[in-house]
Structure 1
Amino acid sequence: MTAVPIFDVKNRLPYFIHLVEGGETVQITRHGKPVARIISEDEAVKEQKTENQIFKDQIMDWRTKASDWLTNKEIDDVFNIPRTIEPDVRHPEDIEW
């Protein structure tokens, strides 16, 4: 990874884009502290897929734990997931005896 001050990136952006196209990651610094990164589009897609998979795994883990105290419908409602088949659940007071 190449670390460069922000003013240098501003003045030579095409050069750093060329580095990124060659597979390098450019870290932009301000006063010696990292503030941003320039990465290739391919690398960004890989990172996004990884983040999405981590998020999906966390949701599935939460669903497993929450199933002890929430119904599937309540869990789906949290995530605003439409149900294709609505179960016929009626409260006892709604049933004619």
Structure 2
Amino acid sequence: HFSDISETFLRRLRPSQDRGTYLKRIHRLLLQNKEKLARILTRENGKPLKESLGEVEFSASFFEWYAEEARRLYGEHIPGTAESKVCIHVREPVGVAALITP
């Protein structure tokens, strides 16, 4: 839904720790439903159930890792072109992205 996308876009204004909480919740939900998700993967791809379970757990680990990284999102100070100048690198979410992968 388009309204869901606009709500997601507004989440970028929330502190990174709050966004990390969302990612942690996704991690937990993936692990709580890993058997069901693994069965779906097995039916769709024909891979062994044990391999599908590993894939779900591996995927969930990315959400956990990024949730922890969200706690450490600080701007980086980079030396400027002159001694009196400093560049600040700020990470800022841009919104929804769509990816097509193999």
TM over 0.5: no
The structure having more radius of gyration, on CA atoms, is: 1
TM-score by length of 2: 0.28
- Greater share of helix: 2
Does 1 or 2 have the higher relative contact order (CA < 8 Å, sep 6+)? 2
TM-score normalised per structure 1: 0.29
Query: Which structure has the highest strand share of the two?
Result: 1
